Structure 1
Amino acid sequence: MKLNILIAILLTWQAGVMGQDSVVHVAYKTIDKKDLPGAVSILNPRQYLDKHYGTYPLEGTAAFIGGNNFWSLGSPLVLIDGVPRSINDITANEIEQISFLKGANAIVLYGSRAANGVMLITTKRGRPGVSQINVRANSGITMPKSYPDYLGSAEYMRYYNQALQNDGLPALYADSTIANYAAHTNPYRYPDIDYFSSQYVRKLYNTHSANAEFSSGTDRARFYALAGFQNQNSLLNFGEGKNEHNTRLNLRGNIDLKLNDFISTYVNVSTVFYTNRNALGNYWQRADSLQPQRFAPLIPISAVAPGSKDAQALIKGSRNILDGRYLFSGTQQFLTNPITDVYAAGYNKFTSRQFQYTNGIDVDLKNVTKGLSLHGQMSIDYSNTYNESVNNTYAIYVPTWSNGTGTDTITQLSMYNKDSKTGTQNLSNTWSDQLIDFNVHLDYVNIFKQKHHLAAMLMADGLRRRQTGDFQYRTNANAGVQLAYDYDHKYYADLSGAVVNSTKLPAGKRVAFSPTASLGWVLSEENFLKGSDVVDRLKLTASAGIVNTDLDFDVNSYYLYNAVYSPTAYFSWADGTYTNRTTTISRGENLNLTYAKRKEVNLSIAGSLFKNKIDFLASLFYIKKDGMPVQSYSLYPGYFFTGYPPTSFVPYTNFAANRYQGLDFQVNFHQTAGAVKLSIGAAGTYVTTKALKRDELFTDAYRNRAGKPVDAIFGLKSQGLFANQNEIDNHGMQKFGTVKPGDIRYADQNGDNVIDERDEVMIGRWGSPFTGGINVTAQWKDLTLFVLGTGSFGGTGIRSGDYYWVTGAAKYSAVVRDANYPRLTTLGSGNNFRYSDFWTYSTDRINISKVQLTWSFPKSLLKNAFVKGMNIYVSGSDLLTIAKNRAILELNIGSLPQTRFYNFGIKGEF
């Protein structure tokens, strides 16, 4: 019996060391996959990275993992090797496993900070007796999906004249002027600037990357090392834009040492060096705001009249003549513009450096008590960023054109600003982040009578962090206990809890206990299912718990429980002879403020069918997040607060509450048909949310946020456009400014014949209740085809911003061509440009997110060669969006465009 136990322990240890797929990393330990609790999903990049290559760790997770959005509770706690870090600190190449810990029972040991879920990322390690070198190189092109569509100069002028006419104002642009701009005979005098044309923007840009992995080891010492590099250039094809680039160098080293039969230690070191160089001037943002007819960015010197002595003198004195042919242009109002900035304003270089160090020790205390072990880990992370820029100034010239001889000629130049290149490098926006994290846990694992498995853990975790601008350390501390039992891997019970501490709460309320419990039952081990031809394995898990959390407090709000007094405006008396300042209060004191609570019940089912051809995992969940801190004005009399001067004696209280419920699932099907191996996987998450309690006292129940989704959008219900003044006169008064024919007509919800904010109703929700995807792998001989699709349904977007809400002197986009577009105006339109269902659109979409074809060199060709394996692959990412509103969904305004990526790669194993 003792021999069997020893063999089982050794096999478990070996599986953990070798990172086999049956071992799962959960809170502070590893367990066998068959013992996995409910509401936990895992990804093993080793399984799919060769067929679905990418550097971003979470690419396509919606098609693999149910609940990959952590049930829409908020941003999860991201842990890399147990330390709070950013997902951007790591690439997919470095990862052994990603565990999605969703249920309260799975996250509770991490304390308050884990209340929204935990993404536990475990990096690769060396394997005893296995020496391996993997080298991978990639080269790809990135192509924009779309650019904003703005009106050209002549069309803009016609529509702007129409807007003036709608306002009862005379036209600004004469027909002859519009004709000159439409003719394009002289683009310098009558410019029509398209900032997204091929003159300024490439059709594509390049990305190159390479990485090399090295691993080896013995029973005594093991190591894993990775070096990766990536470089990417820019879409801009002129001036400083040609020098724009991103580079990233990342290095990782993981070392494991077995010091003796009782003590092992490990060291993890990671560094990331990132630089981004870009031209000054914010090209993409300004290109979306500057009208095309304002001025030509360049003036041809050849167009300047030779006899204009003053103009010729300015040319000779200029230090910024582009290609010996052009001066920079502008106006007295626009002394810079996106194009001349790229040529002459200089550049900015953003630098980010990160260093992460982790050291741990594992002590086997079997000489004290069989199955007892002690584990400790400490990490020190440091990162800093800064901007290094060269800031130049340059002169712009405003031309005076003449056509006295029948040819357009510049007779005069006016200069503004001056040329200056100091060569000084300016350092700015320095920022640093320092983190110290430690944890220690005492574990007990034992087997009694070969069927009774008992595990216990006593742990403590602490963190101290400080960033530039912090007045005090950001801290986290919690202690936890776990008692787990299973009988013959058939019946499971788990009691886990954490004692949490938060410095964001008053002294008497900082400590709380979070209890959770879980029960599991493997039905397939019962006589009524054992030996079934259909069911291979079927496990039910139910868990419940309460997690105390301070995540609902603002990160910098450490004193919400205190009253806050501050000086405010001056007042005077005696005809201004004397002055003094008043004192105001912005919130009252509440020394009973405490944690918000995540109260949860979930049920999971996992298993496999038909000789493991189908495996599945699904979870149902109900979560109430209660006691979120708000200033509950509705609970206090009106004299507790005033609007001017702004004063409030109302304290923060644990008042607001939300509900989250739904299900997630993932299922995989495997089948071999002749020489083709087929695998199909699907995953999805459906979440409904409800605001249970809000601080509100609306007269009309339809305005209540309580009872609506947490991410509900409120606005007016539209009834089309007013056709004439008679319709306006016979409709309720719309109190959002002057209303004229062509403006949006709104529904009167409360029947008071006045349309104002009290007529706002729910018009959608920001998030998509359902998200999911499907992945398909077809392997034939040495060829593997992988296809990944994702989708989301049920969400709503709002068309807003200057691109859709065109008013005043804003740049006009193509939306104004729509016959159903509201009345154009130069005076502003508070009536039309506000949240209403006139501007909503469905965000439902299906994406073909990835297609990759991989060819593996036949083993027969590599026999007796130093190359053990070779893969060549081509792939495309973000290839197609299938959606009713695809044009809107794929459009970025004021920033880099959305893109498609095509890649060629090669991987060698040595």
Structure 2
Amino acid sequence: MNISSKLVNSNGEPIKNAQITLGEGLLQTSTDGQGMFAIKAQPSGTLMITAPGYKEVVVKLSEGNVTNEIIMIKDLAFASKRDIVELPTGLQTSQRELVGAVGQVSGEVLEKQPSIVFQNVLQGRVAGLTVRNNANGLGNNLASLYVRGMASTGDNAALTIVDGIERPIEYLNPEEIESVQVLKDASTKILYGSRAANGVVMITTKRGKANTRVIKASAQYGVNMTTRMPEYLNSAQYAQLYNEARGNDGLDPFYSDQDIQGYINSSGPNDLKYPNADYNDYFLRSSTPFRKANIEYTGGTDDAQYALLLGYVGTEGVEKVGRTPEQDRLNIRGNLDIQVTPSLSAFIDGNGIIESRSWGKLHQNEVFNGIKTNRPNEYPFEITDPNFAGEDTQLGVERIPPLGGSYLRPTSLYGDMMYGGFQEYQFFYGQTNFGMKLKLDEITEGLSAKTVVTFDNYQYHAAGQINNPVRYEQQTVPGPSGLDSTAYIQLNNRIISGNREESGNNISRNLGWMANLDYDRTFDKHSIIANLSHFYYFSENSDIRQHTQNTNSFLRAAYGFDNKLYLEATGAVMGSNRFSGKNKHKFFPAVGASWIVSEESFLKSSESVDFLKLKSSFGVIGYDRATSFYLYDTRYYNNGSTAFGERNQNGVPRTGFDNFGNPDLTWETSREFNIGVEGMAFSNSLMFEVNYFNEYRSNIIYDNPSSVFSSINGSQNIPLNLGEVSNQGMDASINWFNTTKDFTYNIGGNILLVKNKLEQIDQVNYPDENLNQVGHSSDAIFGLVDNGLFRDQAAVDAAPAQSLGKYGVGNIAYQDVNGDNVIDTRDATVIGNAFPRTTLGINLDVKYKRFGLFILGTAELGVDQMLSNSYYRNDGEEKYSAYTLDRFHPVNNPSGTGPALTTYQNINDFRNSTYWLSDASFFRMKNVELSYSVSNGSWVVKNVKFYVRGTNLFVLSKIKELDPEVINAGVDNYPVFRTVTGGVSVSF
């Protein structure tokens, strides 16, 4: 069948730039500027049609839906960027009818970024969503998610929902996800209830589609490469600077010239007298493998649709001494939809996750703590003295060579990693959903009922075998002949765990139940939607005594007129077991409206504006997730006994006081306003959305406020609703799409501008205005203002006295902010902010013939970082980093910009101040994919895609030594990884 057709919408207008796929990716074409396309097809084939602003449509050729003249996408006029919008409790709306603010990204886009933790692939994808990476061990670097900044003084994390219920998302694979939607305004968040005020990241997994079949397999392999690792000094450099530090303190040198020369000529980490260890090079490798594989089998008929998704991901840690950490995760997900009768449909979902992790005796943070603190000359890793064999071992016990150690650090890193044993974790996570929907058209047309039950079970089991080998300190002692000799002092006894022992376990269960009564009817130009819903959520954890219980019952009504004016109102009664009495349940409202301006006569005939909508919403919603349990009760506890009687021999039990309760404690509430515009222009090539939001968070709870009571009552204060925060800003997204015969491109970006202000908090009224937090942002960084370093004694004498610790030439000078001629903590003021004022995502998607290129860049602007970790702040008996090479010394380094070294604790210099504050704005090349695809309808394999993918390829920032976003990465725990993989995806 040769088809030469025109694609139009329900108004008969041509649809330009539509993508048309024959079968399962066999052949592809697109419509031209008049909506025309041509394709050669089998009579029994199917066309998959997607176009900017329209829902995806499948057309069966065998049913005669295609003529040689016209294909019409029925029942849909111009929409916006996407059609179906998922809402909580299983509700759906269209982008056209939406009055609120919802951002979205497809799972297909997220597949392009290799990562073992799902949160990390969301950065830069959705306007209004800020994703901040964290430093942690293997598989634990979960990014923090924030929707529209920080609106509260405490918990600001977004809620994550998977298939309708609150669930963790770090275990997900992008290949099993249909879409990720971010609920940003009151009209959408209120539908989930009291845990959603901070915004919702809602994930919908893939389901089968009627009359289609997809069989797809993919595999990729690559490497994680370390980036921006801290540099530390070698033994000779350390010895020289340590002597300098002692000189600054008025002490004699500790290392002789002979010692320093010995370190220069050292044989390495096992040199008995002059050890020189590069801990990063010795204990860590620069790259680790990354493995991933997925299988997708989805499809179905009109009566039943199915989806089976299998996924594996695995990686290893960077430790190369002893046991290398490993992580392997297997996901299996099945979704099934069945039309039981013409009126009754049902679905059942199941998801199982099995994950195993193993490592040595030390957790990853303990390994990095050893690397950053153990000095390069502290001790030899192994004692190779032929005259010393170490401890005697019993028959059958592993022989361990004598290990070095020191009195300062008797547990050597080498001994723990090489001979310390191992730990293993196993995680098991099961998720189930079961639901039914009943059409009630016999009662009245458009009426239906739905109920869903969800149950999750999560458990982990930890076990290990922990050993503690013997270490020895070397001491030089006079020998009987008057010559010095070496003695070895045993620092500990050997402890051997003969068996693998359980070290921990945990079980948590989540239960959800939802019931809806829905009405959806159109009368001529009028559409009416009503939803009555009740939702119940219950969560228990074996490690936490108190369980979480929440309810949300709402009535939502939506009205549409003439396909261009939409009104919506929701009233919700939220319930929480964190409050008592009349405050246990509370009513919250939300309203919204939208107007399709492009349907009006003055725009309808516009050649440039295809779709334009104005929208606004307002609501007040409650929040309880940050509230502690039992704050409404005065609490007591058993507190041992008190001795009475002769010689105090009689013990009488006593009861201790824990805290006052406040039965009148009420909900933290969020009053939110949103106004936005969205549209499409220039033949659907340009898509955009802009939203302004204003949120006022009030009644923020302080468990134990100190600002309204004196210390006379023992600091046991009544919990109160004290805090108030205002938060406002703008989020926007824009995309430009164009296509020709062989070339297609999509370039876009999203931005968030946000800032909050503390209106009222639990704060003592300081006489010094510069110390007051009210009026500043909740992420304000307080610190001293520096005047540089004292470079001579005259500068020290001329400056106000500093009462912050010992100081002099080479130390930091501070400004007298409050003007009392004394530098102390009262001179602190706002010097920066820790949360970005601007978050950006920029993407480019280009296809030329069979080649494809996708690029994503992310950026944070207007954010500061306090350089407070041990890489920058070196003192005492700690290890020295390369940063100390720029320290000030009047003779050895008079142009140095860092504080003078000391062997004491540097109290004066190591305070938060502008000296240590750095602009942490950055641009990161977050994700790149280069691909090549081959399609042929006559093959068993219908489509093959070869690709190379990369993430965290480079970062640009004023901070050069470490990662600007995760300043502790590589110092306190794993570094940020650059991941590069190669793979293939095959469709059958």
TM-score normalized by structure 2?
0.84
The match for 1:713 among 781, 790, 794 is: 781
Q: Does 1:882 align with 2:956?
A: yes
Corresponding residue number in structure 2 for 1:160: 242
- Counterpart mapping for 1:638-717 below 5 A: 638=710, 641-642=711-712, 647-648=714-715, 650-672=717-739, 675-696=742-763, 697-717=765-785
Corresponding residue number in structure 1 for 2:77: none
Alpha carbons 1:16, 1:30 under 8 Å: kept: no
Match of 2:96, SS?
helix
Amino acid at match of 2:533: M
Give the direction of change, closer, same or farther, for the CA distance of 1:750–1:234 in structure 2 (3 Å limit): closer
Corresponding residue number in structure 2 for 1:260: 341
Q: How far has the Cα of 1:207 moved from its partner? A: 1.0
Alpha carbons 1:115, 1:551 under 8 Å: kept: no
Alpha carbons 2:546, 2:629 under 8 Å: kept: no
Match of 1:739, SS?
coil
Give the Cα separation in 2 of the matches to 1:542 and 1:474.
33
Corresponding residue number in structure 2 for 1:8: none
Q: How far has the Cα of 1:799 moved from its partner? A: 0.9
Could you list the per-position Cα deviations for residues 708-756 of structure 1 after superposition, in whole angstroms to 9, with x for gaps in the alignment?
Answer: 0111110111111123344333322222222222111111111111222
Corresponding residue number in structure 2 for 1:68: 129
Alpha carbons 2:229, 2:962 under 8 Å: kept: no
Give the Cα separation in 1 of the matches to 2:658 and 2:612.
57
Q: Does 1:590 align with 2:590?
A: no
Corresponding residue number in structure 1 for 2:700: 628
Amino acid at match of 1:873: Y
Could you list the per-position Cα deviations for residues 435-482 of structure 1 after superposition, in whole angstroms to 9, with x for gaps in the alignment?
Answer: 111111100000012x10100000001111111222232111110110
Give the direction of change, closer, same or farther, for the CA distance of 1:81–1:194 in structure 2 (3 Å limit): same
Alpha carbons 2:223, 2:287 under 8 Å: kept: yes
The match for 1:192 among 272, 276, 281 is: 276
Q: How far has the Cα of 1:188 moved from its partner? A: 3.4
- Counterpart mapping for 1:816-831 below 5 A: 816-818=884-886, 819-831=896-908
Corresponding residue number in structure 1 for 2:318: 235
Runs of 4+ in 1 over 4 A off after TM superposition: 14-21, 49-60, 310-322, 397-404, 408-422, 565-587, 631-635
Corresponding residue number in structure 1 for 2:294: 211
Amino acid at match of 1:732: P
Amino acid at match of 1:178: I
Q: How far has the Cα of 1:547 moved from its partner? A: 0.6
Instruction: Name which of structure 1's ranges 721-730 and 137-146 shifts more when overlaid on structure 2.
Output: 721-730
Could you list the per-position Cα deviations for residues 122-144 of structure 1 after superposition, in whole angstroms to 9, with x for gaps in the alignment?
Answer: 11111122122110001011111
Give the direction of change, closer, same or farther, for the CA distance of 1:693–1:609 in structure 2 (3 Å limit): same
Alpha carbons 1:60, 1:790 under 8 Å: kept: no
Give the Cα separation in 2 of the matches to 1:755 and 1:35.
60
The match for 2:371 among 269, 275, 287 is: 287
Give the Cα separation in 2 of the matches to 1:632 and 1:312.
55
Corresponding residue number in structure 1 for 2:438: 363
Give the direction of change, closer, same or farther, for the CA distance of 1:619–1:15 in structure 2 (3 Å limit): closer
Corresponding residue number in structure 2 for 1:518: 592
Q: How far has the Cα of 1:99 moved from its partner? A: 1.3
Amino acid at match of 1:262: S
Alpha carbons 1:774, 1:790 under 8 Å: kept: yes
Corresponding residue number in structure 2 for 1:493: 567
The match for 2:85 among 1, 21, 24 is: 24
Give the Cα separation in 2 of the matches to 1:574 and 1:804.
59
Give the Cα separation in 2 of the matches to 1:396 and 1:743.
38
Give the Cα separation in 2 of the matches to 1:171 and 1:568.
53
Give the Cα separation in 2 of the matches to 1:312 and 1:712.
55
Q: How far has the Cα of 1:400 moved from its partner? A: 6.6
Q: How far has the Cα of 1:863 moved from its partner? A: 3.1
Q: How far has the Cα of 1:809 moved from its partner? A: 0.7
Corresponding residue number in structure 2 for 1:838: 915
Q: How far has the Cα of 1:798 moved from its partner? A: 0.6
Corresponding residue number in structure 2 for 1:908: 986
Alpha carbons 1:62, 1:683 under 8 Å: kept: no
Q: Does 1:144 align with 2:226?
A: yes
Q: How far has the Cα of 1:178 moved from its partner? A: 1.8
Instruction: Name which of structure 1's ranges 417-426 and 772-781 shifts more when overlaid on structure 2.
Output: 417-426
Give the Cα separation in 2 of the matches to 1:471 and 1:346.
33
Corresponding residue number in structure 2 for 1:730: 798
Give the Cα separation in 1 of the matches to 2:897 and 2:94.
61
Instruction: Name which of structure 1's ranges 845-854 and 882-891 shifts more when overlaid on structure 2.
Output: 882-891
Amino acid at match of 1:780: Y
TM-score normalized by structure 1?
0.90
The match for 1:299 among 369, 383, 388 is: 383
Give the direction of change, closer, same or farther, for the CA distance of 1:662–1:299 in structure 2 (3 Å limit): same
Could you list the per-position Cα deviations for residues 484-540 of structure 1 after superposition, in whole angstroms to 9, with x for gaps in the alignment?
Answer: 011122001000121011221131211111101001111100111111011100000
Could you list the per-position Cα deviations for residues 625-683 of structure 1 after superposition, in whole angstroms to 9, with x for gaps in the alignment?
Answer: 01101268676453xx24xxx71353222111001100000110012367321210100
Match of 2:435, SS?
strand
Corresponding residue number in structure 2 for 1:771: 839
Alpha carbons 1:238, 1:343 under 8 Å: kept: yes
Match of 1:648, SS?
coil
Structure 2 unaligned regions, length at least 5: 1-9, 11-48, 60-80, 131-146, 151-155, 887-895
Give the direction of change, closer, same or farther, for the CA distance of 1:415–1:558 in structure 2 (3 Å limit): closer
Alpha carbons 1:77, 1:84 under 8 Å: kept: yes
Give the Cα separation in 2 of the matches to 1:459 and 1:178.
76
- Counterpart mapping for 1:573-584 below 5 A: none
Corresponding residue number in structure 2 for 1:277: 358
Corresponding residue number in structure 1 for 2:76: none
Amino acid at match of 2:184: K
Give the direction of change, closer, same or farther, for the CA distance of 1:726–1:904 in structure 2 (3 Å limit): same
Corresponding residue number in structure 2 for 1:849: 926
Q: How many residues align?
A: 872
Alpha carbons 2:375, 2:879 under 8 Å: kept: yes
Corresponding residue number in structure 1 for 2:972: 894
Could you list the per-position Cα deviations for residues 794-821 of structure 1 after superposition, in whole angstroms to 9, with x for gaps in the alignment?
Answer: 1111111332222211111111111121
Give the direction of change, closer, same or farther, for the CA distance of 1:410–1:233 in structure 2 (3 Å limit): farther
Corresponding residue number in structure 1 for 2:677: 605
Corresponding residue number in structure 2 for 1:440: 515
Amino acid at match of 1:260: T
Alpha carbons 1:679, 1:777 under 8 Å: kept: yes
Match of 2:370, SS?
helix
- Counterpart mapping for 1:393-432 below 5 A: 393-398=468-473, 414-415=489-490, 417=492, 421-432=496-507
Say what the alpha-carbon RMSD is for the aligned residues. 3.0
Could you list the per-position Cα deviations for residues 530-560 of structure 1 after superposition, in whole angstroms to 9, with x for gaps in the alignment?
Answer: 110111000000111111222331xxx2122
Alpha carbons 2:114, 2:950 under 8 Å: kept: no
Amino acid at match of 2:921: D
- Counterpart mapping for 1:35-184 below 5 A: 35-46=97-108, 48=109, 57-59=118-120, 61-69=122-130, 70-73=147-150, 74-184=156-266
Q: How far has the Cα of 1:53 moved from its partner? A: 6.3
Corresponding residue number in structure 2 for 1:7: none
Q: Does 1:472 align with 2:538?
A: no
The match for 2:630 among 548, 551, 559 is: 559
Give the Cα separation in 2 of the matches to 1:332 and 1:794.
46
Give the Cα separation in 1 of the matches to 2:622 and 2:686.
38
Give the direction of change, closer, same or farther, for the CA distance of 1:264–1:702 in structure 2 (3 Å limit): same
Instruction: Name which of structure 1's ranges 422-431 and 885-894 shifts more when overlaid on structure 2.
Output: 885-894
Instruction: Name which of structure 1's ranges 564-573 and 764-773 shifts more when overlaid on structure 2.
Output: 564-573
Give the Cα separation in 1 of the matches to 2:469 and 2:220.
40
Alpha carbons 1:98, 1:121 under 8 Å: kept: yes
Give the direction of change, closer, same or farther, for the CA distance of 1:255–1:313 in structure 2 (3 Å limit): closer
Give the Cα separation in 1 of the matches to 2:103 and 2:629.
34
Q: How far has the Cα of 1:567 moved from its partner? A: 7.9
Q: Does 1:788 align with 2:853?
A: no
Give the direction of change, closer, same or farther, for the CA distance of 1:280–1:153 in structure 2 (3 Å limit): same
